[in-house]
Amino acid sequence: MTSISEQLFDALGVMIMGMGLVFIFLSMLIVGIKIVARLCKSEIQPTVAYAPAPVAASATTLDPKLVAAITSAIHQYRAKD
pLDDT means over runs of 10, the chain (81 residues): 90 98 98 93 70 63 89 92 66
Cα angle, residue 38 at apex, residues 32 and 39 outer, rounded to 5° = 90
pLDDT value of position 61: 81
What is the residue extent of each domain of the chain? Answer: 1-42
Specify the 3-state DSSP secondary structure of 62: coil
Q: What is the DSSP string of 9-69?
A: HHHHHHHHHHHHHHHHHHHHHHHHHHHHHHHT--SSPPPPPPPPPPPPHHHHSPPHHHHHH
pLDDT value of position 35: 94
How many Å separate Cα 49 from the centre of its chain?
20
pLDDT value of position 41: 81
pLDDT value of position 57: 56
